Amino acid sequence: MKVTVVGAGNVGATCADVLAYREVANEVVLLDIKEGVAEGKSLDIWQKAPINLYDTRTIGSTNDYTKTAGSDVVVITSGLPRKPGMSRDDLISTNAKIVNSVTENVVKHSPDAIIIIVSNPLDVMTYAAHIKSGLPRTKVMGMAGILDTARYRAFLAEALDVSPKDIQAVLMGGHGDTMVPLPRYTTVGGIPVTELIDADKLEAIVQRTKTGGGELVKLMGTSAWYAPGSAAAQMVEAIVKDQKRVFPVCVKLEGEYGIDDAYLGVPVVLGKNGIEKVIELQLDESEKELLETSRGHVKAVMDVLDKM
């Protein structure tokens, strides 16, 4: 199996490192437009193999897509990261051009690849890549929900003083302030979270989750990378190993949840064919309203991209 990660910045390099360490593929190609960066980081990851005991070969490339040929999965992290005061939507014009160019090259050399988008604004970049690729919606998806639920679960684990391993959660909608965490579907070791925490504390955690990316940008002056890179790697692993994992993933909706032609995070089954099933939950009225608000925001940004 061969996996390519386009963009050797912090997120892309973290993703490649996790993929190598977990031996998800035989070969991981790291590609970047900046001379020598991908080669250096991939060499560094390879030199770590005797220490951490893995076999995955990591190969770097400066904008030479021929080295990515025949990839089974391609992760696209290319684009400018957020700076303090910027929203994800501020990045739309610049990053759309980058994602379109990368997608075109990816499909040219790996026409059968499954594509995972990490670039921001996530939902709209997934839209751009899906249109540019010409691939079915099952093979072009965005990584957001895994990251957002991880933040939600981490905050809950801290508040409850329990292991994050025992917390399961579902989160839907766009990747941003209008995301829709679903406490009704959140459990701790099988116990509904509402039985373990006060409603006001839970609501505070939900709100912190919605602005979780911005919190890190304020602290570091740039976007997060450890959790996003690891989340993308988890999606790759589910596909490469045909694990049939249930994850929240950004996908084009075609009537599910009463929504058509919008790209939103919803629970899906991930396997060797990409998105093998979109799972429709029975949302209550308040949850439907929140999802509709999220849809409206994403669609508005999609419209901005269409007019460019």
Residues marked as catalytic: 175
Which pairing describes strands 191-192 and 260-271: parallel, antiparallel, or unpaired?
Answer: unpaired
Q: Which residues contact 141 (CB under 8 A, 6 or more apart)?
A: 114, 115, 116, 117, 126, 235, 249, 250, 251, 268, 274, 275
User: Which two structure tokens, joined as six digits, stand for 90?
Assistant: 């501020």
Q: Which residue has the tokens 């590609």?
A: 31
Distance CA 68, CA 83 (A): 30
Nearest to 76 by CA among 168, 23, 140: 140
Distance CA 294, CA 173 (A): 6
Q: What is the dihedral of CA 227, 232, 236, 237, to 10 degrees?
A: 10
Nearest to 206 by CA among 232, 186, 220, 190: 186
Distance CA 240, CA 152 (A): 26
